[in-house]
Structure 1
Amino acid sequence: MIGTIRISLIALTLLLFTDVQSQSIFKMYKEAEEVFYDEKFGEALTKYLEIEEIEENYEDIQYKIEICKLLSITQYEDMEPFYSFEEVMGARDKFYYYWEGRILMKEYEFEEALESLKKFISLPAKKSDIILEEARRWANWAVAAKKFMDNPKFYEIHLLERGLNTEYAELSPVYFADKEELLFLSNRDPQRPDQFQIYHSRHEGSRSWSEPEVIYNVGTFTRENSNIEVVAEDGRLFQFRTDKGGDLFYSEPTDSKTGWSVPKEFDSKISTTHLSSHFFINEHEDRIIFSKNVGSSKDPNLDLFQSIKDPESGEWSKPALFATTINSEYNEDSPYLSPDEKTLYFASDGHETMGGYDIFKSEFDSNTLTWSEPENLGFPVNSPDDEIHFKLNADQMSGYFTSNRLHTIGDYDIFFFWEIHTVKIKGRVIDGATGQPITNARIFFRPVEYTDMYFFSPIDENGRYEMQINADDVYEVEIKMNDTREVTSLEDFEIHSTGGTSTTYLKDFHIGDNP
């Protein structure tokens, strides 16, 4: 009898434990789903992996894990595990083709992404107006991204080396030319992932930089207010603080170990402007442009405002919207104004963007006193992901920005960009076996250092091609057939620097063996 009671108690205990565990997993899954559908994919991935440790095949976590990996880890590109769910989840999850489209956008497969998004939009399953609007927006981005990728602007970009870039976030890079010093913000302390500090690194020639060091005496930042500016005219380093509702502080270059003084308040009157953290201050320090949320905390909408200092009274004007042509129904952020104050650069996820935040520019017309319609800087500066914190160097032909695009090292990384000269290249593509021209195809030139970028030309009925490409580069050359999409890789081809002179290269390519 006693044995029977003991067995019953054990069984009841196990049943209660199983029930409690089931409730615990259900709660964990619900929390994971909430952040997943808020599109916080890195956070959701962590939560799904915690569930996996308890119950490997709970609900659809393996499917969601693959989506989160593909949308949050820039180095993760293996789509086979995701596609293994197509037969089951393609029928069960009405969002399957939406996620597929999002993932293909991240992989720069724009035509395929558009097909998936159209498939999702046309599904008869009930969908909210919000998700349909978002899917149509992603479809528009796919069209725009392909257009910009097919017609790259004449910039070269370089992802700064490991050490400067890490698995953490690198934000707001500014180059201080007098010291050959790069300053930026990063959250590299694993014990304080929400705390950003200013790091500095000195240029040591070519692509070599010193090990970044923290500048401890200038304070700490949150991700939201991670922004610094260096004014070239006096070399002062500006930062935003929330003191008195929003205020600017500055540090000056010194000969001390840190190289910068303790921050001082810039102007006590500036707090009346209700300044926000993503600001720009001009060379004369009498004009501030900043982004401000005109929406709600749940549904933010950033617009650009400006405040100008009165030279006589020293008072700052009430913030006014920067220009009607600049602010869209979406978000405008990270302003940068050229030294002559005639060109504004800013980040926006509105206007004609490739996806996420892109960098745009607008020119000031001194005759009409108006700003032009924003122009997208195009690829390779922009990508289907986010680009922010765009800043030009003193030469106004090179500079830095941050991006979380494909093939970055971690969170946001720092890129260096510069304008380049172009050359014309033309020639023929010949079938080596028959001696006949290759037709119904396209030829692609991909820079070896950045193969996500390409220049292409259609091949005409005589096998001829012609295009402009960047000078002083080494290219992988590919032929892609229009009907079969078969790709043939050819030998690498090197273009030497022309010093800016107009040059035409003649180059024929043979596919297969010579007859």
Structure 2
Amino acid sequence: MKHKIIFVLLILRLPLFSQDDFSAKKMFEDGNYILALNEYELLLKTDSTNKEWLHHLAVCYLNTNGDKSRAVSPLEKLLLEVNVKSINYYLMGRAYHYDYNFSSAIENFKMFLRTNPINKELVNSANEHIEYCSNAKELMKYPVDISFENLGKNINSSFDDYYPFVNNDESYIQFNSKRNEFSVEENSGQFKSNVYISNVSLGKYQKAKLLSKKINTEEESEEIVGMNSSGSKSIIYKDDYLLGGELYMAFYDNKSITKIDKFDKSINSKNAEIAACISDDNQKLFFASDRPGGYGGVDLYLCQRLPNGKWSEPNNLGPYVNTYMDEDFPSISSDGKTLYFSSKGHSSMGGYDIFKSKWDPIKSKFSYVQNMGFPINTPEDNLNFRLASDDRFAYVSAVRKEGFGGLDIYRIKFESVEPKYTVIKGLVTKDVNTDSRVDISITDSETYEIYGEYSPNDINSRYIIILPPGKYFIDIDADGFNSISEEIEILDKISFKSEIIKNIHLTSK
């Protein structure tokens, strides 16, 4: 698989192992950091000062999709030694970076560089991470006003669930998962990835199911890596033992796949093509590739649809978007004016951050690039960003404390963007005609705060209430009449309704 979620550290492995830690060593050498982590935790209960075990435990923490800052504790013990190995300063810099202790991270990276290490890749990485930490300090001064909603057990599992894609009206979501279902286990202890789909009913995502076997296989990895805004087309990455990985276009009719076409050689080259997206008018294809001739690493490219229906030769998006580092996961807005993508360059606060670039009609190119900000971006890799049509919600995968394990899928809410409102209106009637005043109170059922108080019109007895999506209690009171108390839910996604008619009838006591 060409695109990895878990980074692999370049480390100086220590050769000292005893027969007691043979299993841990074997798992570690195979890259099965999840199981090796468990083994080293058990081993350290028998000898909490073993330097080799502490070192490898830290490496395991840093190589799994969990709380990477847990590597701080074993590394602190190693840094108390008289002769500290330089690699441990580097690892501590990484651990402090994930722990949001950026000043201490920079200090440890500089300590590592002062030891004059031979490994040039680690030297470059340390310098890059010093810049990441400096960027992070600045970005965290101006956090974006957002909230995270974990999509819950119908979507997320104890395995990695990642790269969410929704269509404009959020009627369904597709994503990838490495769960133990219709998938073989790899040497790393993880399972091959498959594509899943979940439909929305009454505003809620239903239990996710495997997408068609036209895409998913048990022996290889498949991933959704792009989708147009309407959801009529998606881009699928299929791992291949011989070819190394290819991009395909999947076509949908009513959420069912009708056909799958492999992209031609102008897109699927001998190099790595990782992710792609297509514009809603089917005229532009953006994709990521590490082919020669770019600005360094993985770059973003654009193909235009030709009159004969084929794709043009790829054009590099240029130095405004691409850097000497990696750019990935392009996603074009429905109006074609904003390109979202991931990058290790620009002003990243650690690994991949999510950026956006606006189309400049004068220069005829995507130019000004802006970091999407913290906490959308974190010291972790932030790879895929999918904006819903109303610009109030977006979807990401992330490792967070409230998650189910590994990467989970979250729905982000931009608090500064006005929600869609539902108008509730109706007629209030009484079984006995009196002049008693009718009071209607709306309370948020989660916070128990009063949202608003209302009264029907004195002349026609009609009322109107405007509410954003959420759950509420509605209480209706009038002297001499029985009170009414109900719970109502204003749905969003595809279940959103702009207007609800709700008549109220009061009965006398």
* TM-score, normalising length: structure 1: 0.65
How far apart, CA to CA, are the structure 2 residues paired with 1:165 and 1:233? 24
Residue 214 of structure 1: how far off its partner (Å)? 1.7
Give the aligned partner of residue 378 of structure 2: 383
Check the 8 A contact 2:78/2:88 in 1, yes or no. Answer: no
3-state SS, counterpart of residue 72 of structure 1? coil
How far apart, CA to CA, are the structure 1 residues paired with 2:85 and 2:19? 24
CA shift in 2, pair 1:187/1:120, >3 Å:
same
The reply to whether residue 98 of structure 1 matches residue 90 of structure 2 is yes
Give the aligned partner of residue 320 of structure 2: 325
The reply to whether residue 265 of structure 1 matches residue 261 of structure 2 is yes
How far apart, CA to CA, are the structure 2 residues paired with 1:223 and 1:349? 28
Identify the match of residue 177 of structure 2 among 171, 178, 186. Answer: 186
Give the aligned partner of residue 119 of structure 1: 111
Identify the match of residue 308 of structure 1 among 304, 324, 329. Answer: 304
How far apart, CA to CA, are the structure 2 residues paired with 1:406 and 1:356? 20
Give the aligned partner of residue 239 of structure 1: 236
Give the aligned partner of residue 456 of structure 2: none
3-state SS, counterpart of residue 278 of structure 1? strand
The reply to whether residue 395 of structure 1 matches residue 387 of structure 2 is no
Residue 128 of structure 1: how far off its partner (Å)? 3.2
3-state SS, counterpart of residue 61 of structure 1? helix
Give the aligned partner of residue 275 of structure 2: 278
Map 1:26-65 → 2, pairs under 5 A: 42=34, 45=37, 60-65=52-57
CA shift in 2, pair 1:294/1:49, >3 Å:
farther
CA shift in 2, pair 1:61/1:374, >3 Å:
same
3-state SS, counterpart of residue 54 of structure 2? helix
CA shift in 2, pair 1:247/1:151, >3 Å:
closer
3-state SS, counterpart of residue 388 of structure 1? coil
Cα distance per residue 1:329-365 (max 9 Å; x no partner): 1111000111222211100111110001100111111
Give the aligned partner of residue 433 of structure 1: none
Cα distance per residue 1:197-234 (max 9 Å; x no partner): 2222233556x432222223342279975224443447
Check the 8 A contact 1:74/1:409 in 2, yes or no. Answer: no
Check the 8 A contact 2:105/2:133 in 1, yes or no. Answer: yes
CA shift in 2, pair 1:346/1:104, >3 Å:
same
Residue 321 of structure 1: how far off its partner (Å)? 0.9
Q: 1:274 is aligned with what amino acid?
A: N
Cα distance per residue 1:391-426 (max 9 Å; x no partner): 111223422122346664433221212322299xxx
The reply to whether residue 209 of structure 1 matches residue 202 of structure 2 is no
CA shift in 2, pair 1:272/1:68, >3 Å:
closer
Q: 1:390 is aligned with what amino acid?
A: F
Residue 189 of structure 1: how far off its partner (Å)? 1.6
CA shift in 2, pair 1:306/1:117, >3 Å:
same
3-state SS, counterpart of residue 285 of structure 2? strand
Residue 175 of structure 1: how far off its partner (Å)? 1.7
Give the aligned partner of residue 130 of structure 1: 121
CA shift in 2, pair 1:131/1:224, >3 Å:
farther
3-state SS, counterpart of residue 102 of structure 1? helix
Residue 371 of structure 1: how far off its partner (Å)? 2.3
The reply to whether residue 83 of structure 1 matches residue 79 of structure 2 is no
Cα distance per residue 1:163-183 (max 9 Å; x no partner): 422221212212235572222
Q: Which has the higher helix share?
A: 1
Overall identity of the aligned pairs, in % = 22
Give the aligned partner of residue 286 of structure 2: 289
What is the alpha-carbon root mean square deviation over aligned residues? Answer: 3.9
Check the 8 A contact 2:198/2:209 in 1, yes or no. Answer: yes
Q: 2:380 is aligned with what amino acid?
A: D
* Aligned positions, number: 389
Q: 2:267 is aligned with what amino acid?
A: T
How far apart, CA to CA, are the structure 2 residues paired with 1:363 and 1:224? 33
Residue 94 of structure 1: how far off its partner (Å)? 1.9
Give the aligned partner of residue 348 of structure 2: 353
Gaps of 5+ in 1: 1-20, 424-448, 450-471, 473-515
Q: 1:253 is aligned with what amino acid?
A: D
3-state SS, counterpart of residue 112 of structure 1? helix
How far apart, CA to CA, are the structure 1 residues paired with 2:171 and 2:343? 30
CA shift in 2, pair 1:413/1:29, >3 Å:
closer
The reply to whether residue 199 of structure 1 matches residue 196 of structure 2 is yes
Cα distance per residue 1:353-387 (max 9 Å; x no partner): 00011001111111122322421111111111111
The reply to whether residue 68 of structure 1 matches residue 63 of structure 2 is no
How far apart, CA to CA, are the structure 2 residues paired with 1:265 and 1:142? 43
Give the aligned partner of residue 109 of structure 1: 101
Q: 2:200 is aligned with what amino acid?
A: H
Give the aligned partner of residue 420 of structure 1: 415
Q: 1:393 is aligned with what amino acid?
A: A
How far apart, CA to CA, are the structure 2 residues paired with 1:75 and 1:351? 26
Cα distance per residue 1:119-140 (max 9 Å; x no partner): 33234x5443332221121111
Q: 1:216 is aligned with what amino acid?
A: S
Q: 2:286 is aligned with what amino acid?
A: I
Task: Name the stretch that deviates more: 127-136 or 344-353.
Answer: 127-136
Q: 1:213 is aligned with what amino acid?
A: K
Check the 8 A contact 2:342/2:383 in 1, yes or no. Answer: yes
3-state SS, counterpart of residue 156 of structure 1? strand
Map 1:208-227 → 2, pairs under 5 A: 208-220=204-216, 226-227=223-224
Residue 274 of structure 1: how far off its partner (Å)? 2.4
The reply to whether residue 148 of structure 1 matches residue 139 of structure 2 is yes
How far apart, CA to CA, are the structure 2 residues paired with 1:223 and 1:352? 35
Map 1:478-489 → 2, pairs under 5 A: none
Check the 8 A contact 1:227/1:279 in 2, yes or no. Answer: no
CA shift in 2, pair 1:60/1:363, >3 Å:
same
CA shift in 2, pair 1:361/1:175, >3 Å:
same
Check the 8 A contact 2:54/2:78 in 1, yes or no. Answer: no
* TM-score, normalising length: structure 2: 0.65
Q: 1:326 is aligned with what amino acid?
A: V
3-state SS, counterpart of residue 380 of structure 2? coil
Q: 2:297 is aligned with what amino acid?
A: N
